[in-house]
Amino acid sequence: MNERLLVEQQYNLIRKEWALPLLRDVESNLNTRILNPPVIKNLILVTADMLQGALNHLFSVLEPNNTVDIIESNFYTEKQKKDVANKYNELMSQFHELMAALHSNEKEQIKFFKKSLEIIPQTKNYMKKFNTYHANKWRKPRVKSNHSHIG
């Protein structure tokens, strides 16, 4: 039997019992397509990967470790950094709940995945604003470099 068909069948059984959205809607929201079972475990992994990417971006503002991070960290006031830190803590909590769910039974996995469905659109919206803010800040002229040619 086709693995994708197994994914769809597995998800549809769970969807009815747990009142989950359609698989295509979930996959669209996560920008992915699950090809192999187990479907919930794979959806959790994709969700966790998305959260990890967001966490990495936020962390670079809070704890810059290279020149680009330092420049981008300076885009923010201390109050704005506190807001970023709050979002970071919220997403880190969600990330660890998902990771813990991977070590649980299927019912626990479904429960935590269903909870994560609420945070995915919020996270995507937040990160869109976050990245747009950075793009706009990079467009503004900064202090000119005082490089001299050594020859």
Q: Is 65 within the bounds of a domain?
A: yes
pLDDT, tens digit (0-9, with 9 covering 90-100), for 56-82:
999 999 999 999 999 999 999 999 999
Q: Is 92 within the bounds of a domain?
A: yes
Q: Is 120 within the bounds of a domain?
A: yes
Counting the structural domains of the chain, the total is 1
Half-sphere exposure of residue 23: CA atoms within 13 angstroms, side-chain side: 20
pLDDT-based confidence at residue 143 (cuts at 50, 70, 90):
low
Q: Is 141 within the bounds of a domain?
A: no
Structural domain containing residue 91 = 3-135
Q: Is the pTM of this model over 0.85?
A: yes
Q: Is 148 within the bounds of a domain?
A: no
Tell me the C-alpha to C-alpha distance, in Å, between residue 20 and each of 42, 65, 94, 137. 15, 40, 19, 39
Q: Is 60 within the bounds of a domain?
A: yes
Tell me the C-alpha to C-alpha distance, in Å, between residue 86 and each of 50, 78, 83, 111. 18, 12, 5, 24
Q: Is 109 within the bounds of a domain?
A: yes
pLDDT, tens digit (0-9, with 9 covering 90-100), for 18-42:
999 999 999 999 999 999 999 999 9
